[in-house]
Structure 1
Amino acid sequence: MTILAIVVPCYNEEDILPETIEQLRALRQQLIEEQLISSESKIVFVDDGSRDRTWSIIYRACLRHEEIKGIKLAGNAGHQHALLAGMFAAKQMAHCIVTLDADLQDDIYVVREFLRKFHEGYDIVYGVRKKRDVDSYMKRWTAETFYRVMNRIGVKLIYNHADYRLMSRRAVEALAQFREVNMFLRGVVPLLGFPSTTVYYDRKERKAGVTKYPFMKMIRFAFDGLTSFSMMPIRFVSVLGFCSFFVSILFAMYVLFLKMTGHTQTGWTSLMMSIWLVGGLQLIAIGLVGEYIGKVYQETKQRPRYIVDMDLLNGPMIAARERETFSEEGIS
């Protein structure tokens, strides 16, 4: 019988987490009754350095329910690294792993279809949104533009897929061989090459809490993905530099022509435009080169992607400082 592990990264999710736990427990029980998974299947919550009561809720659930497991990271490692922490820890106990966010926007009952595809022989099953009606116009436009740009420059991304997916144990073990610090899972997973398919679903509105990906964080996330997989941006700047160089030659010829014909009065506007244009291009180029150098710098240091503070996969072991915290909150 298939042993499933559901990995849920959490960051400041105290408002929605109790309901998420109950819904996932109910889903697990249904899948067991339908004989799609084993009763040994687990739900693993990864606390990504939350500043609210997220870890308290996870710990209490671990004490009350054997199927609930928890991992607490020492600090905020980021969504992608929290996913990796949960997946790498769970791969030893499960035949396949499903990752999803704690906000319940992804239809959790699609896991049933994931498992059917897994039993058909697929190692990776992507959850793909049918449409983006629940998103604002700006978020929808930026997301669609991101996917189009990434596909245009040769990065294989699954359109309208985030991090809701099923992966077999061997796929996760292969993923563990990718050692880069700047991990962009949406681009790395398709590189594995294992048999894969997609399942479509309708995404729901967030029931509680706030999104952990505001506009500026989405822009940074997209830029990280772009620079992690392609040299196209820096090549584009090189092409832009050459174009600017040729335009400056034409402009110089124009100035010489004016001087030869006696029109020697120079224009302040054209001078300022030239200075600002060239200066702007230089700053863009320097910034983009710095971005790539920064990534190289981070990779060469080989620092750990995350540090685990507490691991409750083998049962809750409460430390003295944790015991004091839970006693103050009335948790036994």
Structure 2
Amino acid sequence: MYDTRSRSIALSIVVPIFNEEESLPVLGARLRPVLDGCGEPYEVLAVDDGSTDKTPDLLEDMRTAWPQLRIVTLRRNSGHQAALTAGLHRARGAYAVSIDADLQDPPEVIPDMLALARADGLDIVYGVRTDRSTDTGFKRRTAAAYYWLMRRLAGSFVPAQAGDFRLLSRPVVETLKTLPDQRQIYRLLIPSLGFPAGQITYQRAERAAGTTKYPLHKMVLLALDSITSFSAAPLRLATAIGAVSILVCLAFLVWTLTVYATGSTPPGWTSLIITFLFFGAVQLFCLGMLGEYVARIYTAVQARPTYFVARDTDEELQ
């Protein structure tokens, strides 16, 4: 169970941070007035995910003037989802809200999330983006494709356009803490738990400052992790491709025998090479899909923690 001191905290804000020296001053200037205005006891967990710029120093400066700010420092860069896990597992509030430091998700709607959860008895309130006009056309199209694919592979319970900006009740947080310490994709995992949920809509803003920490290759890895963590569809796809390949092979065999019987056998170098390349590519594709799942089984068997906490300023006060 969580610390008995958490009974006095109504709201925990979890902020994964990696090299956000330019965004931190704006984050503090917007987030603190919102939380102070709620009239609720709160804490802000700034999870420093191995930052290499001035982020650690800025967090220390902010903490001197903001007693509710709590710094959790990871020993190395472990990734956004791991930093989010570290924050949620250490949050002590009756409700926990996760939000990114870039302020593309507005902290001003946090009081609305809390009010909706209490009024309707909800355990989860998602922040849903209804307007992404500030994103590039490529980002909008890839995001739409991601959610379309996830809703068909993982299930219709996945809310469209809902990222990692959400409110969770204490029962949800405690449930997440009981799950194995593996790479979690929370935007898929949390909806799958089946807790009562609602939505708050908002317009997605531009980054407050700095550059994105989620470039194209990380978005591709997120999509791959999402698919292989919540669906066996790729394995079934590999099986289907194998079945189609057998049919193609049989058709090619019939064609070859027919040509041979008519006595007009071509030299066959081109067709032979194409056939070898085709079936070699199919085999490599199927092996690659199988390898992705085997790698996840290997990681799960190792049972290594996804992050290591070097420091928690809350523990220094005990």
TM over 0.5, shorter chain:
yes
CA contact (8 A) 1:9 1:102 kept: yes
Q: Report the counterpart of residue 45 of structure 2 in structure 1.
A: 44
Q: Report the counterpart of residue 112 of structure 2 in structure 1.
A: 113
- By how many angstroms is 1:309 displaced? 0.5
Q: Report the counterpart of residue 24 of structure 1 in structure 2.
A: 31
User: Residues of 1 paired with 2:290 and 2:117: CA distance?
Assistant: 42
- By how many angstroms is 1:153 displaced? 2.0
User: Residues of 2 paired with 1:180 and 1:96: CA distance?
Assistant: 21
Q: Report the counterpart of residue 13 of structure 1 in structure 2.
A: 20
TM-score of the two chains, using structure 2 as the length reference: 0.93
- By how many angstroms is 1:207 displaced? 2.4
Matched position secondary structure for 2:134: coil
Q: Report the counterpart of residue 87 of structure 1 in structure 2.
A: 88
CA contact (8 A) 2:9 2:43 kept: no
Name the stretch that deviates more: 4-13 or 306-315.
Answer: 306-315
Map 1:193-212 → 2, pairs under 5 A: 193-212=194-213
CA contact (8 A) 1:157 1:186 kept: yes
Matched position secondary structure for 1:130: strand
- CA 1:180/1:271 → structure 2, altered by over 3 Å: closer, same or farther? farther
Residue 137 in 1 paired to residue 111 in 2? no
In structure 2, the gaps of 5 or more residues are: 1-7
Residue 4 in 1 paired to residue 5 in 2? no
Give the AA of the match of 1:302.
A
Give the AA of the match of 1:130.
T
Give the AA of the match of 2:254.
M
Q: CA RMSD in A?
A: 1.5
Matched position secondary structure for 1:313: helix
Q: Report the counterpart of residue 60 of structure 1 in structure 2.
A: 61
Matched position secondary structure for 2:168: strand
Size of the aligned set, in residue pairs, is: 309
Map 1:152-301 → 2, pairs under 5 A: 152-155=152-155, 156-301=157-302
Q: Report the counterpart of residue 96 of structure 1 in structure 2.
A: 95
User: Residues of 1 paired with 2:36 and 2:64: CA distance?
Assistant: 18
- CA 1:60/1:315 → structure 2, altered by over 3 Å: closer, same or farther? farther
- By how many angstroms is 1:185 displaced? 0.7
CA contact (8 A) 1:69 1:315 kept: no
- By how many angstroms is 1:212 displaced? 0.8
- By how many angstroms is 1:315 displaced? 5.3
User: Residues of 2 paired with 1:175 and 1:226: CA distance?
Assistant: 20
User: Residues of 2 paired with 1:201 and 1:314: CA distance?
Assistant: 36
CA contact (8 A) 2:11 2:97 kept: yes
CA contact (8 A) 1:100 1:163 kept: yes
Give the AA of the match of 1:17.
L
- By how many angstroms is 1:31 displaced? 1.4
- By how many angstroms is 1:182 displaced? 2.1
CA contact (8 A) 1:63 1:316 kept: no
User: Residues of 1 paired with 2:185 and 2:154: CA distance?
Assistant: 15
- By how many angstroms is 1:205 displaced? 0.6
Q: Report the counterpart of residue 149 of structure 2 in structure 1.
A: 149
User: Residues of 2 paired with 1:30 and 1:107: CA distance?
Assistant: 15
Name the stretch that deviates more: 14-23 or 56-65.
Answer: 56-65
- By how many angstroms is 1:44 displaced? 1.3
User: Residues of 2 paired with 1:154 and 1:295: CA distance?
Assistant: 17
CA contact (8 A) 1:124 1:167 kept: yes
Name the stretch that deviates more: 181-190 or 267-276.
Answer: 267-276
- By how many angstroms is 1:192 displaced? 1.7
CA contact (8 A) 1:96 1:167 kept: yes
The CA deviation string for residues 183-238 of structure 1, in whole angstroms up to 9 with x for no partner, is 11111101221111111100001121111111111001110010001111011011
The CA deviation string for residues 153-195 of structure 1, in whole angstroms up to 9 with x for no partner, is 2434210011000001111001112114121111110122111
User: Residues of 2 paired with 1:112 and 1:315: CA distance?
Assistant: 30
In structure 1, the gaps of 5 or more residues are: 33-37, 318-332
CA contact (8 A) 1:99 1:164 kept: yes
TM-score of the two chains, using structure 1 as the length reference: 0.90
